[in-house]
């Protein structure tokens, strides 16, 4: 005699991997967004744009989208915002009038320089309590999962 009509054992949401993954990721993202919002007035999309431009120098919006796992609409809006704040410079491509190269301005580079150490701190905080091996496995697992579940502009 059991309450559940099903033959299957109870379904425990708290043990359900997609749920656990979602909760962990969203908590980290929330904290992350709070910190960057407070410190620099940057949203996560804006932060990602700055991050990839800091690394690659100049990219067209399409490339930013590909490298930040965001769709082009989100990139477009983040770029507009960053431009309004003077963190970005935009230059038309000589050969292809559809393309616009985006790069950090001087001011943007300054912000980028401040942003990166804070990111490393946050990462350290996430990683605390994990051994090196656990961290390695976590990274492998996340990579496999992301591969198995492709998506255009996700997040």
Partner DNA sequence: TGACATCAGTTGCATTTGAAACTACCTCGG
Partner DNA sequence: CCGAGGTAGTTTCAAATGCAACTGATGTCA
Provide φ and ψ at 108, rounded to 5°: -65, -40
Which residue of 63, 89, 99, 116 would you call a contact of a second copy, by CB under 8 A?
Answer: 116
The entry of DNA, a second copy, none that residue 72 binds, CB within 5 to 8 Å by partner kind: DNA
Min dist CB 46 to a second copy, Å, is 13
Which residues, 25 to 44, sit near a second copy by CB under 8 A?
A: 25-32
**What are the CA-CA distances from residue 42 to residues 2, 3, 19, 54 (Å)?**
52, 50, 27, 15
Facing residues of 150 across strands?
Answer: none
The span from the CA of 142 to the CA of 119, in Å, is: 19
The entry of DNA, a second copy, none that residue 82 binds, CB within 5 to 8 Å by partner kind: none
The span from the CA of 42 to the CA of 1, in Å, is: 56
DSSP string computed for 64-109 = HHHHHT--HHHHHHHHHHHHHTT-EEEEE-SS-TT-EEEEE-HHHH
Q: Which is nearer to a second copy, 25 or 91 (CB)?
A: 25
Which residue of 50, 53, 75, 111 would you call a contact of DNA, by CB under 7 A?
Answer: 75
Question: Does 45 help bind DNA (rule: CB under 7 A)?
Answer: yes
Which residue of 1, 8, 38, 97 would you call a contact of a second copy, by CB under 8 A?
Answer: 8
Angle at 147 between CA 143 and CA 153, to 5 degrees: 105
Which residues of the chain form contacts with a second copy (CB under 8 A)? 3-6, 8, 10-14, 16-32, 48, 51-52, 54-55, 57, 67-69, 109, 113, 116-117, 119-120, 122-123, 125-130, 133-135, 137-146, 148-151, 154-155
């Amino acid at each position: 005699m059991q309450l559940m009509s099903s033959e299957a054992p109870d379904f425990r949401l708290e043990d359900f991997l997609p749920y656990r993954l979602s909760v962990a990721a969203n908590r980290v993202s929330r904290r992350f967004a709070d910190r960057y919002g407070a410190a620099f007035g940057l949203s996560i999309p804006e932060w990602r744009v700055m991050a990839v431009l800091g690394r690659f120098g100049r990219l067209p919006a399409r490339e930013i989208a590909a490298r930040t796992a965001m769709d082009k609409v989100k990139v477009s809006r983040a770029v507009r915002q960053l431009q309004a704040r003077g963190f970005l410079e935009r230059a038309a491509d000589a050969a292809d009038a559809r393309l616009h190269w985006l790069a950090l301005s001087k001011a943007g580079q300054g912000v980028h320089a401040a942003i990166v150490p804070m990111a490393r701190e946050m990462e350290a905080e996430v990683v605390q309590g994990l051994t090196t091996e656990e961290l390695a496995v976590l990274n492998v697992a996340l990579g496999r999962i992301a591969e198995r579940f492709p998506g255009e502009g996700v997040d």
